[in-house]
Amino acid sequence: MPSDAALSFSALNAFYGDSHILHDVSLEVAPGRILALLGRNGAGKTTCMNALAGLLTSRTGRILLNGRDISAFSPEAICRAGLALVPQGRRIFRSLSVEENLAVARCPRPPDGRVAWTDEDIYGLFPRLKERRRHPAGLMSGGEQQMLAIGRALVTAPRVLLMDEPTEGLAPQIVAEVGGIVGRLRAAGLSVILVEQHMAFALKLADEVVVISTGRVVDKAPASAFQADPARLEEHLGVH
Amino acid sequence: MFWINGFLNSFAFGAILFLLAVGFSLIFGLMRVANLAHGALFMLGGYIATSAVGLGFAGAVLVAGAACAVFGGILERTLIRRLAGRELAQVLGTLGLAFIIADQCLLVWSGDPIAQPAPEALRGAVGFGGIVFPAYRLALVALALVAFVGIWALVERTTLGARIRAAVDDREMARAMGIPVSRLFTTVFCLGAGLAGIGGALAAPIMSVYPGLDSEMLPLALLVVILGGIGSLTGALAGSLVIGLVYTFGQMLLPDLAYVILFLPMVVVLAVRPQGFFGRQAA
């Protein structure tokens, strides 16, 4: 495993109670790259994200963030080490205002050259959040909540961003906007693992694509290979 | 005169109840722990203040508050966090703690009630337009309002408070965003225990301190929290005021029915509006 990966993990196994969900999943993402994690419903994509973020404690395997072993870290320590989650269903703090959502997650002086994001940086990406900065986050639209979930992850000064279905339930125009933002984050040097149902969106953005099925990696290739050969994805994702 | 005095006594008692109940409510709202040792911490604060009165009244109150805060923090770190998510274990564990604390108080301070003189500056009475109020009770009401504003500012206007609210909204996501939820829990528990201790110390001049004070006050704190709504600061204030009035006037007018009058509003509220006056609907 090359040590220059932003995030790499090997032999990741995860469990919900007695059921074994992830089987020896190994992946790595280089700095400034976007890796799309695709698979059918129930394939284990969200489990994988939650296991990486430390929310699922029943897991084994080795997780290296920038070469540092974070396998045994608590969720808060994982976040402080530079791995941030944009969770499925957004899960913004509903009773807090937009500003407060950003304030509670902020890492003001990130170590080792990680980029500190100010409120103004976030509002630069999402001008609509600035207009709504004193609104209770729970009363905003789904698209605005998604922007806030991304902003909230960014103020933790991550190296690697885990995005779990960021386009779920959003209008096409907002989906395009989110896509543009993800592209800008890559340009800023962030690595992203993107879980998506929306195949076209994922293939357009991603550098690499990994397909999982029933908790195992079944295919792995540059996004261009999947774009050139749509049948290859269909094999794993199509409804049989 | 009867009515005016009754109201002032109600407000003073409500002020004491607020200091007791607000910590209970915050701890329950954030940590989902019904800390049944909260009444014992109140009594402990009262006893400590009677022993520390040599430092002056204010000094004794602060010592009682600090001692209860530290003690509460130790309890949270060593015992209460091990019971997370197990309601029955929490009830039995904190109730057991309450018995142990009460028993140790009996050992140290004996079974006789201990009277605590009010601070000298507040022993007199204040007259407004021919009506005379005991100064200490007025000061209690003012102190409770200061505590309310202080806690409100802490919870609503600081990043610490926003983090507490974030943890109440979604504890798991708060951790995933790097918020040290475990340390927040200890902080809130210390704060609640410290306020209970201060409440006990401030109550001593009007109620004195005696064995059984803990089990007399705890149900009242529960009532306040049920009426006002769990985790709600405004609810704790409103609930304390209502229970202070009902308790005081109940004792004055219908002493035989004091408990019926006290618990009847709770039954009605639980039936009609189970989340309390200011509580949020359960998610």
pLDDT of residue B283: 38
Q: Tell me, what CATH number does A182's domain have?
A: 3.40.50.300
The shortest C-alpha distance from B67 to chain A (Å) reads 30
Query: What is the greatest pairwise CA distance in chain B?
Result: 61
Contacts of A121 (CB under 8 A, 6+ apart): A154
For every residue of B100-136, which 3-state class applies, written as one string? HHHHHHHHHHCCCCECCCCCHHHCCEEEECCEEEEHH
How many other C-beta atoms lie within 10 A of the C-beta of residue A227?
15
d(CA A201, CA A230): 14
B157 CB neighbours in chain A (<8 A) are: none
A80 CB neighbours in chain B (<8 A) are: 178
pLDDT of residue B128: 76
Q: Closest partner residue to A79 among B163, B172, B178, by Cβ?
A: B178
Q: pLDDT (tens digit, 9 = 90+) per residue, B62-81? A: 999 999 999 999 999 999 99
The chain A residue lying nearest B167, using CA atoms, is A93
**In a domain? residue B55:** yes
Q: Is the pLDDT of residue B279 over 80?
A: no
**In a domain? residue A144:** no
The shortest C-alpha distance from B181 to chain A (Å) reads 8
By three-state DSSP, how is residue A113 classified?
coil
Least confident of A222-226, B27-31, B106-110, B163-167: B27-31
The shortest C-alpha distance from B70 to chain A (Å) reads 25
Average pLDDT over residues B207-223: 95
Q: Closest partner residue to B178 among A93, A95, A156, by Cβ?
A: A156
Length of chain A: 240
B181 CB neighbours in chain A (<8 A) are: 76
pLDDT of residue B133: 82
The CA-atom distances, in angstroms, between B4 and each of A39, A221, B1, B11, B238 are 72, 82, 5, 11, 19
Q: Is the pLDDT of residue B282 over 50?
A: no
Mutate to test the interface with A, among B81, B173, B184 (most CBs of A within 10 A): B173
pLDDT of residue A239: 55
The chain A residue lying nearest B178, using CA atoms, is A76
**In a domain? residue A210:** yes
**In a domain? residue B117:** no
**In a domain? residue A129:** no
Instruction: Verify whether the Cβ–Cβ distance B178 to A105 is below 8 Å.
Output: yes
By three-state DSSP, how is residue A26 classified?
strand
Domain, as residue range, for B24: 2-111+133-272
Instruction: Verify whether the Cβ–Cβ distance B175 to A100 is below 8 Å.
Output: no
A55 CB neighbours in chain B (<8 A) are: 172, 175-176
Q: Closest partner residue to B173 among A80, A91, A100, by Cβ?
A: A91
Structural element, H or E, at residue B154: helix B135-157
Residue A96 per-residue DSSP state: S
Query: What is the greatest pairwise CA distance in chain A?
Result: 51
When pLDDT is cut at 50, 70 and 90, the band that residue B281 belongs to is low
**In a domain? residue A140:** no
A156 CB neighbours in chain B (<8 A) are: 177-178
User: Cα dihedral sign for A174, A180, A183, A188?
Assistant: negative
d(CA B163, CA B167): 6
- Give the number of domains in chain B: 1
Residue B256 per-residue DSSP state: G
The shortest C-alpha distance from A129 to chain B (Å) reads 18
Find the Cα–Cα–Cα–Cα dihedral B53, B58, B61, B63, rounded to 10°.
Answer: -80
**In a domain? residue A142:** no
Instruction: Verify whether the Cβ–Cβ distance B168 to A87 is below 8 Å.
Output: no
Q: Closest partner residue to A53 among B165, B176, B180, by Cβ?
A: B176
Instruction: Verify whether the Cβ–Cβ distance B169 to A87 is below 8 Å.
Output: no
Q: pLDDT (tens digit, 9 = 90+) per residue, B224-233? A: 998 998 888 9
Q: pLDDT (tens digit, 9 = 90+) per residue, B113-159? A: 999 999 988 988 887 777 788 899 999 999 999 999 999 999 999 99
Q: What is the DSSP string of B27-87?
A: HHHHH----TTHHHHHHHHHHHHHHTGGG-HHHHHHHHHHHHHHHHHHHHHHTGGGGTT-H
pLDDT of residue B126: 83
The chain B residue lying nearest A57, using CA atoms, is B172
Contact A31, A223 (CB under 8 A): no
Instruction: Verify whether the Cβ–Cβ distance A93 to B181 is below 8 Å.
Output: no
Tell me whether B156 touches chain A (CB under 8 Å): no
- What residues of chain A have any CB closer than 8 angstroms to a CB in chain B? 53-55, 74-76, 78-80, 84-85, 87, 91, 93-96, 100-101, 103-105, 107, 152-153, 156
Instruction: Verify whether the Cβ–Cβ distance B162 to A75 is below 8 Å.
Output: no
Contact B170, A93 (CB under 8 A): yes
**In a domain? residue A150:** no
d(CA A153, CA A193): 13
**In a domain? residue A166:** yes
**Taking each helix axis from N to C terminus, what angle separates B2-31 and B233-253, rounded to the nearest 10 degrees?**
140
Q: For chain B, what is the mean pLDDT?
A: 92
The CA-atom distances, in angstroms, between A172 and each of A38, A128, A176, B63, B258 are 20, 17, 6, 61, 64
CA-based end-to-end distance of chain B: 47
pLDDT of residue A60: 94
Q: What is the DSSP string of A31-87?
A: TT-EEEEE--TTSSHHHHHHHHHTS--SEEEEEEETTEE-TT--HHHHHHHTEEEE-
* Segment-wise mean pLDDT, segments of 10 residues, chain A, 240 residues: 80 92 95 95 93 93 95 96 96 96 94 90 96 96 96 97 95 93 94 92 94 94 91 76
Angle at A47 between CA B32 and CA A83, to 5 degrees: 80
Strand partners, A161: A84, A192
The chain A residue lying nearest B170, using CA atoms, is A93
Domain, as residue range, for A43: 7-92+158-237
Q: Tell me, what CATH number does B72's domain have?
A: 1.10.3470
Instruction: Verify whether the Cβ–Cβ distance B162 to A104 is below 8 Å.
Output: yes
**In a domain? residue B103:** yes
- B279 closest CA partner among B28, B12, B10: B28
Tell me whether B177 touches chain A (CB under 8 Å): yes
Contacts of A44 (CB under 8 A, 6+ apart): A14, A21, A22, A25, A212, A214, A215
Instruction: Verify whether the Cβ–Cβ distance A156 to B177 is below 8 Å.
Output: yes
pTM of the entire predicted model? 0.89
d(CA B274, CA B280): 10
- Give the number of domains in chain A: 1
**In a domain? residue A131:** no
